[in-house]
Amino acid sequence: MADESRNTISIVGAGFTGTTIAAEIRAKRIFGHVVAFLDDDPGKIGTRIDGVPVLGPVEAAARMIRTSPADEAIIAIPSVTREQLARIYAILRRAKFARIRIVPRIAQILDGEAHLIQAREIDPEDFLARSPVRVNFQKSLAYVRGKRVLVTGAGGSIGSELCRQLLEGGAERLYLFGHGENSIYEIQRELRLLQEEGVGEKATIVPIIGEIQDREYLSFIFFRTKANVVFHTAAHKHVPLMEANPVEAVKNNVFGTKNIVDASRNSGVERFVLISTDKAVEPSSVYGASKLLAEEIVLREKKNGHHYLVVRFGNVLGSRGSILPLFRRQILKGGPVTVTHPETRRYFMTIPEASSLVLKAGGVGCGGEVYLLDMGESVSIRELAEQMIRFYGFEPGTDIPIIYTGLREGEKLLEKLHADSETPEPTGQAGILKLRRKTLINGRITSVLERLHPICFHDPQSPRVFRNRRALRAVLEEVIPGIGPSSAEPEF
């Protein structure tokens, strides 16, 4: 095993974050030693910080300082733009640093300062992300201080990032609810390590293994935990997979949400936030339809002093099951990279930015409302694939081919963030819009749920419709045109 204490580390950025990281490395004395700060600021170049020289500009200094195969560079500029990061990364790559890490962006820093434990390897999505909206966590998370907060799907991409950021909020307890024991184990261990390293506050972290489809257990656990705030992220999310398993999509996403909402209402939860998706807008898939119904279930909960609301956004970069991990695997095996259609476009946001805005919306939002995260401009999936191929040092079409496979069942060429009947309005909060809308199910959500129930759960009075896919789609089509069964739809 390599002796990390012999690593020589150059820190790009001689500001507050860079000097804080350097001090932490010096205090621990096991990860290596800082030999230089690299900076473009003429006012800093030539000075010393705690005995460490500040060299620059970055391009010249990087070539000059790298002398050992063990050399590492840490980019410590939380406000770095996508363009600046691409330039710095290219410089460090040309200088042949053995390892290049980056500290969190502004949207990920909880308490105003980055910590060494948060530094990570650079990912392609770092170059694809737009400049995030800066969120004041202390102010935005005031509503969770001293409260008990429960996150469903806490081991997932959005759920786990919500938990990381909730560390700053001063919650009394943080309940990590999920059905996957490994993912819940991983996030609860990570959170405790972050706390040990001084990140966030000392909320008690409680892992809970369970299913949102288990109605009786949810009722029991909500009365036991006495949660005040709930973030509901748990859902089946893969569009083609849910097209192949439509009954399970509805059972989990619709009735699972109803179970969570009922348990929350009955146990006195004060604030409930459903994480929704642009796939719920004029749905073309069962997944999208299930999320639209989930939205309606939450929005009908209007109770004095309690706020049940929906936060909707598009795709997130780097989430499990998203396109970037797929592209990465395809590139690293030599291609080809598969894109459904050359004109496909999607809205993207980083997981940390989406999570921080969800937390902000959860505090400012009123009950019975849908809030939309400002996703900016949509992104061409073809161009995204080309950028990722170049990140790994290859040329699209020459080294790594791109092939087009055609849209899959339930997929759209273009996604919309709101329906034609919904009007986005400013909220006064950067990055967050409120949708002025009508009830899209026209008050029929109760009857729809009653008809879907014997399809998802066995009822001796209606055994013929149990798990019947055609019956499911027929019920959905009555309130969501275009979701009905096709001639190729099997009955079971």
Rounded to whole angstroms, how far apart are CA atoms 14 and 38? 7
The answer to whether the CB of 137 falls within 8 A of the CB of 169 is yes
Taking Cα atoms as reference points, which of 165, 225, 20, 187 lies closest to residue 103? Answer: 20
Taking Cα atoms as reference points, which of 421, 349, 405 lies closest to residue 125? Answer: 349
- Two tokens, residue 106: 């502004």
Which residue stretches of 214-366 are H helix? Answer: 215-225, 239-244, 246-250, 256-267, 286-299, 323-332, 351-364
Taking Cα atoms as reference points, which of 395, 393, 454, 436 lies closest to residue 93? Answer: 393
Neighbours of 338 (CB within 10 A): 15
The answer to whether the CB of 483 falls within 8 A of the CB of 409 is no
**What contacts 470, CB < 8 A, 6 or more positions away?**
485, 489, 490, 491
Rounded to whole angstroms, how far apart are CA atoms 318 and 335? 19
Three-state DSSP at 190 gives helix
- The residues that bridge with 54 in the sheet, in sequence order, are 37
Three-state DSSP at 312 gives strand
Q: What is the DSSP string of 89-120?
A: HHHHHHTT-SEEEEPPPGGG-SSSS--GGG-E
- Two tokens, residue 207: 């892992």
Active site (catalytic) residues: 279
